[in-house]
C-alpha cells in the first residue's frame, strides 16, 4: 500500500476496510467474534473499540493458517460453523455470508468457501475442480500451471468451516519452506482429500469478493462500491441524474421518486424520503428527509431532521439537533444548531438560530441571531407561535418571545417579550439638515489653506 496506515484502516465508501467487513458480518449474530491483529496493533485496537470483539495478537506474520489457528484456540472446543473472513474484502454482503453458512450447515459440509469470477483473474488463487465439478484445491498464483491459470473461478477468501474439520485441517497445514508462512487455503485440499465435503459457493456479484492489496485495488474497490450503491438506489425507484458524481454511503436509504442531482453526497445513517429532491453540491450526513422535502444547492446537513414539504437552502447549514417540521422554509446563508422550527416557520436569509425553539408560523427576518453562548454556557431562546422577528435583531439568551409578539428591526432583546407585545430597543433617530453641504464647504476651505502654504 506504500502507506504508514495499516491496510485494513484504509477507507472505501466512507468506511475502513475493517469496518466494512464487520458491518457485513454484524447481521449474522455470531456467538463470538475474534480478530487477529499483528503490526500496528494499538491502532487496530482503537478502531475496534466498542465492537465487542476478542483480539488475538499474531506477533510475527506467519500467514493466514497461523492466524486461524490462534483465533481457534480462543474459541475453544465448541461445535457449529466457524466463519473465517479477511479484513481486506470490503465489498462482502451479509446475504452472501448467510448463504455460505447455510450451505455448510444444510449440507453437513466440512467447508463451504466463497468463489467468484472476475473479468481478469489476475493473481487470485484458482479453484481447481475435477471432471465432475468437485472442488479439489486452491492453486496459489505462484504455483499454478498454464492450464490452471486459464481457470476463471478464483478464491474469494471467505470460508465457513465445521469447527472440528477446521481443527483437523489446521493441524495438517504446513508452513512454506521459504517464507515460514502457512496458508489457510491449503485446508481446502486437505479436507477435500479426506472426503469431508468441500463446496465452493460462487458469488452472484463478482465484485463483492474483491480483495485489496494495492492502491490500485483500493481505487477499484471504491469505484465498485460506488456503482453498487448507485444501482441499489436506482433499483429502489430513485432518480440519480448523474451517477458518476453522486456519492452514497453504505447506510443510506433512498425511497422511490427521490431525485438526486449531480455532486450530491449522502453519508452516515441518512434516509431520503419519497419525492425528496436534493440539488447539486449538497452534503447530507446522518439526517432524515421526509417525503416532498427539497434541499437546495450548496447546503450541508449534519444530524438534521427535515419535515414533509420543507425547503432548505441554497447555501444553508443545518448542524446536529436541527429539526424542521412540516412546510418550513430555511433559506440562503442560514445556520441552525440544536434548534426546532415548528410547522410553517420561515427563516429565509442570513440568520443564526442556535439552541432555540421557534413556534409554528413564525417569521425570522434577515440577519437575526440568537446569542446563545455567554463564553461558558449555552442558553436557549424560546419563540412562540406567530411571532415576527424583524431584520438584524439579536435575541440574547436565555429569553422568551411570547406568542404573536413583534420584535422591531435592529432590536437587541435581553428581556422576555410578552405575548402580543412589540419590542423595540432603538435610540431616537436624528436628522441634521444641510450637513452634507457644510461638510463639503469645510473640506474645500481646508484644501485651499494647504495649497496656499505651498
pLDDT tens figures, 96-125: 999 999 999 999 999 999 999 999 888 888
pLDDT tens figures, 375-397: 999 999 999 999 999 999 999 99
For the packed helices 94-107 and 17-26, what is the interaxial angle rounded to 10 degrees?
50
Q: How confident is the model at residue 445 (pLDDT cuts 50, 70, 90)?
A: confident
- Name residues whose C-beta falls within 8 Å of residue 64's C-beta, 6 or more positions apart in sequence: 86, 182, 183, 184, 185
Q: Which CATH superfamily is domain 7-209 in?
A: Spore Coat Polysaccharide Biosynthesis Protein SpsA; Chain A (3.90.550.10)
CA atoms of 148 and 111, how far apart (whole Å): 22
Class of domain 238-423: mainly beta
User: What proportion of the chain, given as a percentage, has pLDDT over 90?
Assistant: 79
CA atoms of 358 and 340, how far apart (whole Å): 6
The pLDDT, as a whole number, for residue 158 is 96
CA atoms of 206 and 216, how far apart (whole Å): 17
Residue 230, pLDDT above cutoff 60: yes
Please, are residues 234 and 21 in contact by the beta-carbon 8 Å criterion? no
Of the candidates 93, 146, 152, 122, the one whose C-alpha atom is nearest the C-alpha of residue 213 is 122
Please, are residues 205 and 156 in contact by the beta-carbon 8 Å criterion? no
Of the candidates 281, 282, 283, 249, the one whose C-alpha atom is nearest the C-alpha of residue 267 is 249
Q: Do domains 7-209 and 238-423 have the same CATH topology?
A: no
DSSP 99-117: HHHHHHHHHT-SEEEEEE-
Looking at residues 124-141, what average pLDDT do you find? Answer: 91
The pLDDT, as a whole number, for residue 401 is 98
CA atoms of 228 and 91, how far apart (whole Å): 9
In Å, the largest CA–CA distance within the chain is 116
The pLDDT, as a whole number, for residue 451 is 67
Beta strands in 214-324 (DSSP E): 239-240, 247-248, 253-254, 259-260, 265-267, 271-272, 277-278, 283-285, 288-289, 294-295, 300-302, 305-306, 311-312, 317-318, 323-324
Residue written as grid cell 470460508: 159
Of the candidates 391, 385, 345, 387, the one whose C-alpha atom is nearest the C-alpha of residue 369 is 391
Residue 191, pLDDT above cutoff 90: yes
Burial state string for 130-154 with b = 16 or more CB within 10 A and e = fewer than 16: eeeeebebbbbeeebeeebeebebb
Residues belonging to the active site: 349
CB atoms under 10 Å from CB of 156, counted, come to: 29
Task: Classify the C-alpha dihedral 231-235-238-240 as positive or negative.
Answer: positive
Residue 453, pLDDT above cutoff 60: no
Residue 198, pLDDT above cutoff 80: yes
Please, are residues 454 and 448 in contact by the beta-carbon 8 Å criterion? no
pLDDT tens figures, 325-372: 999 999 999 999 999 999 999 999 999 999 999 999 999 999 999 999
CA atoms of 60 and 213, how far apart (whole Å): 19
The domains of the chain are located at: 7-209, 238-423
pLDDT tens figures, 160-189: 999 999 999 999 999 988 888 999 999 999
Please, are residues 28 and 101 in contact by the beta-carbon 8 Å criterion? yes
Residue written as grid cell 463470538: 32
Amino acid at each position: 500500500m506504500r502507506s504508514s496506515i495499516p491496510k485494513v484502516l484504509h477507507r472505501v465508501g466512507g468506511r475502513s476496510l475493517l469496518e466494512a467487513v464487520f458491518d457485513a458480518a454484524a447481521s449474522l449474530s455470531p456467538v463470538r467474534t475474534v480478530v487477529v491483529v499483528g503490526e500496528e496493533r494499538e491502532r487496530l485496537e482503537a478502531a475496534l473499540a466498542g465492537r465487542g470483539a476478542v483480539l488475538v495478537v499474531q506477533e510475527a506474520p506467519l500467514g493466514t493458517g497461523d492466524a486461524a489457528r490462534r483465533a481457534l484456540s480462543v474459541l475453544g472446543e465448541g461445535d457449529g460453523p466457524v466463519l473465517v473472513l479477511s479484513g481486506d474484502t470490503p465489498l462482502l454482503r451479509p446475504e452472501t455470508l448467510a448463504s455460505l453458512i447455510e450451505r455448510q450447515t444444510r449440507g453437513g459440509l466440512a467447508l463451504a468457501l466463497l468463489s467468484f469470477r472476475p473479468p481478469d483473474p489476475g493473481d487470485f488463487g484458482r479453484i481447481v475442480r475435477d471432471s465432475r465439478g468437485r472442488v479439489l484445491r486452491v492453486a496459489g498464483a505462484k504455483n499454478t500451471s498454464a492450464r490452471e491459470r486459464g481457470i476463471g473461478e478464483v478464491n474469494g477468501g471467505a470460508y465457513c468451516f465445521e469447527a472440528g474439520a477446521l481443527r483437523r485441517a489446521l493441524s495438517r497445514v504446513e508452513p512454506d519452506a521459504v517464507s515460514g508462512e502457512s496458508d489457510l487455503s491449503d485446508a481446502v485440499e486437505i479436507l477435500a482429500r479426506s472426503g469431508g465435503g468441500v463446496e465452493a459457493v460462487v458469488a452472484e456479484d463478482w465484485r463483492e469478493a474483491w480483495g485489496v492489496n494495492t492502491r490500485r485495488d483500493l481505487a477499484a474497490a471504491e469505484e465498485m462500491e460506488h456503482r453498487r450503491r448507485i444501482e441499489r438506489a436506482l433499483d429502489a425507484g430513485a432518480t440519480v441524474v448523474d451517477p458518476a458524481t453522486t456519492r452514497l454511503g453504505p447506510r443510506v436509504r433512498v425511497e422511490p421518486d427521490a431525485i438526486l442531482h449531480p455532486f450530491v453526497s449522502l453519508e452516515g445513517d441518512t434516509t431520503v424520503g419519497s419525492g425528496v429532491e436534493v440539488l447539486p453540491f449538497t452534503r447530507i450526513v446522518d439526517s432524515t428527509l421526509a417525503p416532498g422535502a427539497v434541499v437546495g444547492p450548496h447546503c450541508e446537513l449534519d444530524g438534521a431532521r427535515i419535515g414533509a414539504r420543507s425547503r432548505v437552502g441554497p447555501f444553508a447549514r443545518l448542524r446536529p439537533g436541527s429539526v424542521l417540521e412540516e412546510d418550513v422554509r430555511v433559506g440562503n446563508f442560514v445556520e441552525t444548531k440544536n434548534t426546532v422550527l415548528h410547522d410553517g416557520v420561515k427563516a429565509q436569509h442570513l440568520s443564526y438560530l442556535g439552541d432555540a425553539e421557534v413556534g409554528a408560523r413564525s417569521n425570522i427576518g434577515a440577519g437575526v441571531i440568537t446569542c446563545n453562548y455567554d463564553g461558558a454556557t449555552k442558553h436557549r431562546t424560546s419563540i412562540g407561535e406567530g411571532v415576527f422577528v424583524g431584520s438584524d435583531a439579536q435575541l440574547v439568551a436565555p429569553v422568551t418571545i411570547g406568542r404573536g409578539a413583534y420584535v422591531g428591526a435592529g432590536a437587541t432583546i435581553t428581556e422576555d417579550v410578552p405575548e402580543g407585545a412589540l419590542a423595540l430597543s432603538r435610540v431616537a433617530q436624528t436628522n441634521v439638515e444641510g450637513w452634507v453641504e457644510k461638510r463639503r464647504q469645510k473640506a474645500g476651505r481646508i484644501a485651499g489653506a494647504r495649497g496656499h502654504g505651498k
